[in-house]
Amino acid sequence: MAYSKILLFGGSFDPVHNGHLAIARAATNLLAVDKTILIPAAQPPHKLNQTRAPIQHRLEMLRLATADDDCLEVSDCEADRPGPGYTIDTVRHFRGIFGSVALLYWLVGGDSIKDLPTWKDIVQLADECILVTAPRPDCPIDWPALQGVLSEEQILLMKIYVLDTPQIDISATDLRRRIAQNLPIDHLTPPAVTDYIHTHDLYRS
Ligand code: ATP
């Protein structure tokens, strides 16, 4: 029976950068998924009222960054959701679209593992999708943080799904700092995103 393999990748993307794109592309290939969907959070629960650019700008930058990439799509499914966007709701949204036999993966950076215990319904989430991890440079994965929260089987599965993605030392925080200091960002995000940031005067203050 034919089934879909879909990689979901949520984040603030404030703005999207080459680190996001590199792990999304590499994970797409390593997992041999049919497509990868990038989903900017309108209000990330762990960064409430902390995003800098409005969701419509973040969506548009993602669309520009992925325009030439057939495997990468952008979803606005969290854009209109009131309140914090919970991953479990987003996974269930895509489960509804792709059906019960679809293999759904959710991609996180290695630095996010320590935060998983605070995610809504994390135990159910780990059952309803496969949590895959892209290691982040200089950021050891905090497996002990998951002990007593997820089952041993769930943690073991997550350890199996630590991907050999390129480790790229870029963060949106650093990118925003560089813009505020008038430093070049051309090597950190695609040219179309750099142009968009300058045209719309984002992240200047
Ligand atoms: P900020 O610096 O504002 O916190 P960020 O660069 O971490 O942002 P997010 O949009 O918050 O970017 O990240 C979305 C997801 O991508 C998170 O799971 C994060 O861990 C992961 N991620 C971001 N940048 C990298 C990177 N360079 N390598 C691996 N994972 C990354």
Q: Which atom of ligand 1 is nearest to the CA of 16?
A: 10
Q: What are the chain's domains?
A: 5-199 (3.40.50.620)
For atom 22 of ligand 1, which residue has the closest CA? 109
Measured in angstroms, how far is the CA atom of residue 117 from the centroid of ligand 1? 18
Measured in angstroms, how far is the CA atom of residue 112 from the centroid of ligand 1? 8
**E strands present in the chain:** 5-11, 35-40, 72-74, 103-109, 130-134
Cα–Cα distances in angstroms (integers) from residue 100 to residues 29, 89, 104, 141, 202, in the given order: 23, 15, 10, 30, 41
The pLDDT, as a whole number, for residue 84 is: 80
pTM for the full predicted model: 0.96
For atom 14 of ligand 1, which residue has the closest CA? 11
Biggest alpha carbon–alpha carbon distance for the chain: 54
Measured in angstroms, how far is the CA atom of residue 33 from the centroid of ligand 1? 21
What are 9-24's pLDDT values in tens digits?
999 999 999 999 999 9
Confidence of residue 182 (pLDDT cuts 50, 70, 90): very high
Contact 163, 132 (CB under 8 A): yes
